């Protein structure tokens, strides 16, 4: 076990190394050739012992893992202290520069001595030290990172990442170097990563490379200032005084001006900062000799008011990343966990015995919860320690398969190792603990719980004393707890403590919660103390579980999620047996324990049904897994495998189970079609997290709202997500929802190239245009059709399309209420040398000839790259065609396809056939010049041979009424059981018709082959794969196709409905028609393969209207 303070402090001869380093380094390293480096380690240790130079640096050595470094080689002011190569020279050097040079050399020497050795496991006597280079395996920092506040536990954030694509990565030596195409100098870098992923060890790598002269030799001074140390500075300092406190060699320098030296400041562990860091209200400070609070110094240094040419590198866990305003950060980076290859590489280097290493890898892969956790290097270390020990005696040991079991064994093994290290008596049974061990572990567990509730990962001596912990005794537990000393001028300062890893703190916190119940019948989550013994006796284990579940569900960032899993896992009798000498034995019967677990499972299942947060729900499934209660998930898995799930109505909690299954699957989904699953709006919401694991997400027509966009934006910012195409058309997102979505589109981690926002109730394009102008937005294909953008919205959009950073190559703006008023703006896009636009579709807009003439001015410009232009249904006549012909003839245009269907061009298009352009046209006549959808009006009549006998036709077969049975003759096409009728006409192309209904009715289209004689779903419109129907019943609409249906929110509908079929495009749309407005009701998406026949089911009467 290891309760580890993560930064080392002390003199060169009195160094302490954190067990976490093993964890972290474990993650980062390459543990090879241990025997070969023993002599080198001995040599370095001897040099350290002989060194008279005091160590006054602080380094957190057990918190994280590896990450890269580079310090930019952009031009800095050449100073009197540097030669042309950026190195100091003693020739004719002023006294101040000589002093800086001496500090530079002393700093390198001291840092090299400090960081060239790392400690693995427990102890600080040197027996477990190894060369840093012998255990370090380089990881990459990925460019970018989510600026979104993720409300998942940080370990869960890594769980569903698919490492299937090449991300933009930055090697260690390039962290301050701009990527190709990035011209802005990088001063401040913020690197985030979850606990144990390698942030601090990466810092150590950067420092050591510089100190050894292998990298960044243009840097003169490098200052490491961990936040956990800065927390202790309550007095006022100038920047020079603060640096001298950590680096006494600077005391001979009163100050140094900006540009005198190339300086790097490294602030490690922003998540541990307890300072306010009030960037908005802190007073400005420009003088390095001016005294103020440490908080003010830091904000001014990061903002660039102090030493603006200095480089600043900040590391943090994800939850704290937003403490630094985005405008103060030039580059946001993220450290990724181990991929599959690196996991195996680590175990093979860590475990010398190849056969044993293979066994460990095999076992890890057999348990998904363990396999996923091994993305985190520190967990690889824990797993290697436990499994290497247990597999040696596999016959006598049950190998851990869950997280709870793994941490239980880790606790016992590390305690045993601690006793050997300090020459204390060791029990013959490694599962037995001495009384002193038990007391210390329970005290540490209490500390873990108290600090977890407060959100603290670091703590100080007073925190330990509150839990009755003797600091000296705690130091023995160096694999779980390592003290860190700070020495200045030979005096020791305050001690800082932390656990090796967040997950160890969460595990011990769960131990405390359970032991409090077992020993004292105490509910650690109760805010009031109850001394009534009778009340305590009634307190059950399931009551504790319920309190813990409720507390975890209240957490906004899921910080109690893993704690809850551990608590429930520890509640199983098999797991309690392993810690029987640690936990109080109450004599409870096996039946009593099983009843409590059963009640807990029922409670969790009930919460899954009621909880609204998809992230919290997913963790509840992890909790069920810890209790070996997977019946709901297993049922869903059976349905998935059998293929019956698409035909089943799914309750919301079943959707959560399905989401859990899809998320934990190792396979990348090619297409995730939300409409495949028959469920409610809440069910669809619970399935949304799956989006981040697929290549193409089809979410059209699922009644999503702006609230859904938070989950979608988070998915767009998921590292290594395979998502490339996102279709959210015909959902009620509105401008508010798209604004939220833009936060994801502008993330450096976003990789989607196709975005479909058709019919999303958009009216403004301001935020979208802004997003398109960012260098990070990768979208190439954009569909905004069927939105109320109008000319004003497109004007804003065009501003983004002309940006040199915009990547848009294809855009669809059909049916957006456009007129000639926006055509000059679109033409300016075509003329822009920055524009990448190659395909433009403006169908179904009233552009008229005047608008087409303006567009033609853009087409004839040499900068125009357009090769496909859609102008179908745009009210174009012979005059507009003449303008197009002139543009095509005057410029060697790239245009290869021009769609002029549903216009009235006459014969003018013949003049353009001389060009190599494919012109698609028809001779529609003057009625094609009607505004809106009326240009597609078709004349329909009902077919009496299809009408059910209780339906009567009138008004020239344009009205159908339900009534008494009619003596219709038998006919093979007549509906025998369903009160339905079809029209005579089979439709393809674009068609529009209007219907007036009274009472309940269904408005449908169907293939001719629909069953007519069956009394069941095969004959009913909308209940099979041959028909699509909009039902009106009980004052609401329902859209139906096959087994899927969507309830339409109740509005103030009229009795008239417009139906628009775009057969080639595969859309069928319904509109509410009132005297002054046309309102979209619903759109079906499909691939139509046959002519479609309009039809109706009738409970009163339906009439086909004459479209004017």
Cβ atoms of 55 and 114 closer than 8 Å: yes
Residue 329 has pLDDT above 60, yes or no: yes
CA distance 892 to 889: 7
Question: How would you classify the pairing of strands 1067-1073 and 1078-1085?
Answer: antiparallel
Could you tell me how many helices (H) and strands (E) the chain has, helices first?
Answer: 34, 42
Specify the pLDDT at position 164.
Answer: 40
Bridge partners, residue 982, by sequence? 1095
Most trustworthy range by pLDDT among 53-62, 90-99, 620-629, 642-651:
620-629
Using only C-alpha atoms, what is the Rg of the chain? 35
Cα separation, 529 vs 539, in Å, equals 13
- Of 173, 147, 282, the C-alpha closest to 714 is 147
For the ranges 194-208, 396-410, 630-644, 725-739, the one whose mean pLDDT is highest: 725-739
**What is the Cα–Cα distance from 912 to 889, expressed in whole angstroms?**
8
| pLDDT bucket at 510, cuts 50 / 70 / 90 | very high
Give backbone dihedrals phi and psi of 998, rounded to 5 degrees, phi first: -130, 125
pLDDT of residue 637: 75
Q: What is the structure's pLDDT at 1005?
A: 98
Distance in angstroms (rounded) separating the CA atoms of residues 861 and 858: 5
Pick from 28, 49, 213: nearest CA to 134: 28
Span 1043-1064, average pLDDT? 86
Element (H, E) at 1012: none
Burial class (CB in 10 A: 0-12, 13-18, 19+), 441: buried
Ranges 122-126, 389-393, 649-653, 762-766: which has the least confidence:
122-126
| Measured distance CA(557)–CA(149) in Å, rounded | 8
**Burial class for 69, CB neighbours closer than 10 Å (0-12, 13-18, 19+):** buried
Q: Is the pLDDT of residue 634 over 80?
A: no
Measured in residues, the chain has a length of: 1108
- Classify strands 141-143 and 331-335 as parallel, antiparallel or unpaired: antiparallel
Bridge partners of residue 225, in order along the sequence: none
Q: What is the pLDDT of residue 229?
A: 85
Question: Which of 363, 242, 382, 353 shows the shortest CA–CA distance to 306?
Answer: 242
Candidate ranges 165-179, 559-573, 790-804, 1046-1060; pick with highest mean pLDDT: 790-804
Beta-strand relationship, 897-899 and 1067-1073: unpaired
DSSP helix/strand/coil, 949:
coil
878 pLDDT more than 70: yes
Q: Residues 764, 735: contact at Cβ < 8 Å?
A: yes
Q: What percentage of the chain reaches a pLDDT higher than 70?
A: 79
Rounded CA-CA distance 561/506 in Å is: 9
pLDDT above 60: residue 595:
yes
Distance CA 1108, CA 1104 (A): 13
As a whole number of angstroms, the distance between CA 482 and CA 459 comes to 12
Nearest to 1106 by CA among 927, 873, 940, 875: 940
Is 4 or 683 the better-scoring residue by pLDDT? 683
3 state DSSP class of 996: strand
Question: Is 139 a residue whose pLDDT tops 70?
Answer: no
Mean pLDDT of 777-805: 93
- pLDDT above 90 covers a percentage of the chain that reads 37
Among 121-135, 749-763, 884-898, the range scoring the smallest mean pLDDT is 121-135
Statement: the pTM of the whole predicted model exceeds 0.75: no
Report the alpha-carbon distance of residue 32 to residue 167 in Å, rounded: 28
Q: Are both 669-928 and 937-1104 of the same fold? A: no
What is the secondary structure of 834-894 as a DSSP string? T----EEE-TT-B-HHHHHHHHHHHHTSTT----EEE-TTS---HHHHHHHHHHHHHS---
What would the CATH number be for the domain defined by 2-335?
3.40.50.300
Sign of CA dihedral 885, 891, 892, 893: negative
What pLDDT, on the 0 to 100 scale, is given for residue 20?
35
Give SS3 for 459: strand
Domain residue ranges in the chain: 2-335, 669-928, 937-1104
The mean per-residue pLDDT over the stretch 872-883 comes to 92
Going along 602-731, which residue ranges are E strands? 649-650, 669-673, 678-679, 694-698, 725-727
Q: Are strands 694-698 and 725-727 parallel, antiparallel or unpaired?
A: parallel
Three-state SS for 194? coil
Strands 331-335 and 188-192: parallel
For the ranges 60-64, 371-375, 959-963, the maximum mean pLDDT occurs at: 959-963
CA dist 540 and 546 (Å) reads: 10
pLDDT tens, residue by residue, 373-419: 787 888 888 899 899 888 876 555 678 888 888 999 888 888 887 77
CATH number listed for the domain at residues 937-1104: 2.60.120.920
User: Cβ-count burial of 897 within 10 angstroms (0-12 exposed, 13-18 middle, 19+ buried)?
Assistant: middle
Cα gap 941→944, rounded to integer Å = 9
Q: Tell me the pLDDT band of 59, cut-offs 50, 70 and 90.
A: very low
pLDDT of residue 181: 67
Considering 323-332, 460-469, 940-949, the range whose residues carry the highest mean pLDDT is 940-949
- What is the pLDDT, as a whole number, of residue 835? 93
Q: Which two tokens stand for residue 990?
A: 């674009």
The answer to whether residue 792 scores a pLDDT higher than 90 is yes
Average pLDDT over residues 164-179: 67
Average the pLDDT over each of 71-75, 691-695, 746-750, 951-955 and give the range with the smallest value: 71-75
Average pLDDT of the segment spanning 27-45: 40
Backbone angles phi, psi at 346, to 5 degrees: -60, -50
**Mean pLDDT, the chain, whole residue set:** 80
CB 1061 within 8 Å of CB 988? no
User: What 3-state DSSP class applies to 710?
Assistant: helix
Q: Give the pLDDT confidence score for residue 427 in this predicted structure.
A: 56
Q: Are 1016 and 1048 in contact (CB under 8 A)?
A: no
906: left (phi over 0), alpha (psi -120 to 50) or beta: left
State residue 358's pLDDT score. 92
Give the pLDDT of residue 494: 57
Among 555-564, 727-736, 944-953, where is mean pLDDT lowest?
A: 555-564
pLDDT, tens digit, 9 for 90 and up, residues 260-276: 788 999 999 898 888 99
Strand ranges, E, within 146-201: 169-170, 188-192
Q: Rounded to whole angstroms, what are the CA distances from 778 to 507, 511, 772, 812, 1089?
A: 41, 47, 8, 17, 34
* Site of tokens 């460019």: 143
Mean pLDDT of the 242-257 span: 82
**Pairing mode, strands 951-954 and 1078-1085:** unpaired
pLDDT at 661: 80
Q: Which residue has the tokens 């989510």?
A: 146
The whole-number pLDDT of residue 129 equals 58
Q: Which H or E run contains 921?
A: none
For residue 478, which of 506, 498, 451 has the smallest C-alpha distance?
498
Mean pLDDT over 782-800 rounds to 94
The encoded tokens of residue 11 equal 């003199």
Q: Does residue 64 contact residue 195 with C-beta atoms inside 8 Å?
A: yes
Confidence of residue 127 (pLDDT cuts 50, 70, 90): very low
Res 1102: pLDDT: 96
**Quick one: average pLDDT of 220-246?**
90
Residue pair 48/15 in contact (Cβ under 8 Å)? The answer is yes
What distance in Å separates the CA atoms of residue 675 and residue 654, rounded to the nearest whole number? 15
The first and second tokens of residue 117, run together, are: 């050795």
Region 852-880 average pLDDT: 93
CATH architecture label of 669-928: Alpha-Beta Horseshoe (3.80)
| Band of residue 628 on the pLDDT scale cut at 50, 70, 90 | confident
CA–CA gap between residue 631 and residue 598 (Å, rounded): 13
pLDDT exceeds cutoff 60 at 477: no
Name residues whose C-beta falls within 8 Å of residue 11's C-beta, 6 or more positions apart in sequence. Answer: 54, 55, 487, 490
Q: pLDDT class for 781, splitting at 50, 70, 90?
A: very high
């Amino acid at each position: 076990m290891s309760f580890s303070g993560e930064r080392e402090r002390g003199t060169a001869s009195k160094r302490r190394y954190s067990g976490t380093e093993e964890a972290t380094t474990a993650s980062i390293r390459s543990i090879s050739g241990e025997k070969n480096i023993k002599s080198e380690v001995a040599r370095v240790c001897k040099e350290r012992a002989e060194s008279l130079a005091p160590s006054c640096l602080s380094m957190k050595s057990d918190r994280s893992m590896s990450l890269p470094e580079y310090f930019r080689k952009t031009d800095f002011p050449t100073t009197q202290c540097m030669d042309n190569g950026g190195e100091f020279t003693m020739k004719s050097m002023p006294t101040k520069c000589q002093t800086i040079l001496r500090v530079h050399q002393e700093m390198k020497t001291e840092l090299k001595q400090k960081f060239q050795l790392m400690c693995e496991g427990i102890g600080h006597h040197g027996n477990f030290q190894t060369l840093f280079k012998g255990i370090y395996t380089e990881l990459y920092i990925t460019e970018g990172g989510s600026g979104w506040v993720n409300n998942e536990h940080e370990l869960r954030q890594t769980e569903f990442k698919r490492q299937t694509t090449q991300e933009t990565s930055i090697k260690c030596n390039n962290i301050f170097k701009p990527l190709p195409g990035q011209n802005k100098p990088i001063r401040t870098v913020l690197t985030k990563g979850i606990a144990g992923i390698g942030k601090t060890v990466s810092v150590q790598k950067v420092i050591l490379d510089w100190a050894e002269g292998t990298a960044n030799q243009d840097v003169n001074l490098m200052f490491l200032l961990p936040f956990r140390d800065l927390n202790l500075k309550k007095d006022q300092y100038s920047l020079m005084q603060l640096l001298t406190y950590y680096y006494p060699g600077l005391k001979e320098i009163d100050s140094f001006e900006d540009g005198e030296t190339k300086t790097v400041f490294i602030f490690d562990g922003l998540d541990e900062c307890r300072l306010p860091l009030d960037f908005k209200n802190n007073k400005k400070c420009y003088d390095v000799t001016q005294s103020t609070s440490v908080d003010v110094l830091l904000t001014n240094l990061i903002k660039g008011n102090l030493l603006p040419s200095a480089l600043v590198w900040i590391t943090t866990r994800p939850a704290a990343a937003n403490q630094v305003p985005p405008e103060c950060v030039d580059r946001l980076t993220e450290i990724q966990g181990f991929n599959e290859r690196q996991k195996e590489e680590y175990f093979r280097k860590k475990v010398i015995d190849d056969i044993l290493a293979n066994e460990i890898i095999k076992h890890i892969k057999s348990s998904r919860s363990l396999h996923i956790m091994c993305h985190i290097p520190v967990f690889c270390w824990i797993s290697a320690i436990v499994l290497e020990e247990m597999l040696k005696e596999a016959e006598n040991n049950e190998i851990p398969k869950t997280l709870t079991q793994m941490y239980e064994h880790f606790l016992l093994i590390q305690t045993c190792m601690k006793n050997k290290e300090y020459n204390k008596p060791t029990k013959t049974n490694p599962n037995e603990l001495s009384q002193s061990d038990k007391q210390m572990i329970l005290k540490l567990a209490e500390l873990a719980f108290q600090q977890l509730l407060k959100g603290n990962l670091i703590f100080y001596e007073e925190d330990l004393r509150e839990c009755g912990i003797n600091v000296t005794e705690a130091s023995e537990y160096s694999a779980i707890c390592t003290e860190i000393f700070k020495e200045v001028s030979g005096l020791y300062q305050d001690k800082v403590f932390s656990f090796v890893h967040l997950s160890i703190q969460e595990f011990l916190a769960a131990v405390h919660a359970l032991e409090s119940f077992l020993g004292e019948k105490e509910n650690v989550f109760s805010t009031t103390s109850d001394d009534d013994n009778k009340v305590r006796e009634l307190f059950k284990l399931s009551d504790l579980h319920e309190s813990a579940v409720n507390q975890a569900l209240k957490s906004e960032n899921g910080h109690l999620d893993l704690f809850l899993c551990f608590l429930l896992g520890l509640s199983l009798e098999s797991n309690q047996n392993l810690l029987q000498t640690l936990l109080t034995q109450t004599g409870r019967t096996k039946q009593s324990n099983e009843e409590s677990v059963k009640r807990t499972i029922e409670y969790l299942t009930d919460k899954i049904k009621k909880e609204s947060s998809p992230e919290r729900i997913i963790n509840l499934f992890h909790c069920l897994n810890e209790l070996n209660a997977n019946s709901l998930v297993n049922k869903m898995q059976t349905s998935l495998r059998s293929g019956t799930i698409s035909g089943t109505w799914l309750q919301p909690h079943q959707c959560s189970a399905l989401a859990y299954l899809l998320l934990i699957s190792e396979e990348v989904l090619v297409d995730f079609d939300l409409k495949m699953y028959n469920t409610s709006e809440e069910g669809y919401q619970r399935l949304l997290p799956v989006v981040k694991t697929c290549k193409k997400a089809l979410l059209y027509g699922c009644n999503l709202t702006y609230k859904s966009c938070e989950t979608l934006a988070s998915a767009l910012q998921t590292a290594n997500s395979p998502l490339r195409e996102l279709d959210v058309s015909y959902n009620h997102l509105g401008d508010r929802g798209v604004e939220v979505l833009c936060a994801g589109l502008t993330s450096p981690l976003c990789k989607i190239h196709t975005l479909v926002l058709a019919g999303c109730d958009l009216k403004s394009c301001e935020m979208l245009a802004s997003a398109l102008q960012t260098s990070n937005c990768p979208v190439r294909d954009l569909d905004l059709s069927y939105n109320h953008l109008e000319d004003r919205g497109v004007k804003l959009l065009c501003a983004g399309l002309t940006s040199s950073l915009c990547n848009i190559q294809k855009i669809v703006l059909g049916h957006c209420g456009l007129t000639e008023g926006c055509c000059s703006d679109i033409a300016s896009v075509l003329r822009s040398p920055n524009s990448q636009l190659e395909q433009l579709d403006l169908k179904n807009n009233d552009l008229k000839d005047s608008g087409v003439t303006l567009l033609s001015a853009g087409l004839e410009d040499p900068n125009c790259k357009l090769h496909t232009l859609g102008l179908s249904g745009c009210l174009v006549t012979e005059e507009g065609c003449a303008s197009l012909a002139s543009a095509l003839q005057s410029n060697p245009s790239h245009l290869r396809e021009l769609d002029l269907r549903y216009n009235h061009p006459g014969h003018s298009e013949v003049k353009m056939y001389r060009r190599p352009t494919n012109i698609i046209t028809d001779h529609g006549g003057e009625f094609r010049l009607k505004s809106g959808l009326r240009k597609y009006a078709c004349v329909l009549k009902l077919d009496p041979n299809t009408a059910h006998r209780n339906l009567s036709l009138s008004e020239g077969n344009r009205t159908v009424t339900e009534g008494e049975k009619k003596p219709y003759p038998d006919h093979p096409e007549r509906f025998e059981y369903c009160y339905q009728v079809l029209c005579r006409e089979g439709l393809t192309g674009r068609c529009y018709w209007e219907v007036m209904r009274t009472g309940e009715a269904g408005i449908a289209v169907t293939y001719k082959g629909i069953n007519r004689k069956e009394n069941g779903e095969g004959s009913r419109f909308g209940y099979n794969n041959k028909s699509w129907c909009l039902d009106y019943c009980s004052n609401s609409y329902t859209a139906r196709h096959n087994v899927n249906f969507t309830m339409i929110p109740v509005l103030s509908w009229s009795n008239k409905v417009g139906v628009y079929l775009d057969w080639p495009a595969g859309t069928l749309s319904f509109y509410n028609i009132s005297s002054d407005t046309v309102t979209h009701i619903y759109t079906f998406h499909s691939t139509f393969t046959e002519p479609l026949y309009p039809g109706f089911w009738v409970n009163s009467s339906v009439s086909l209207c004459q479209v004017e």
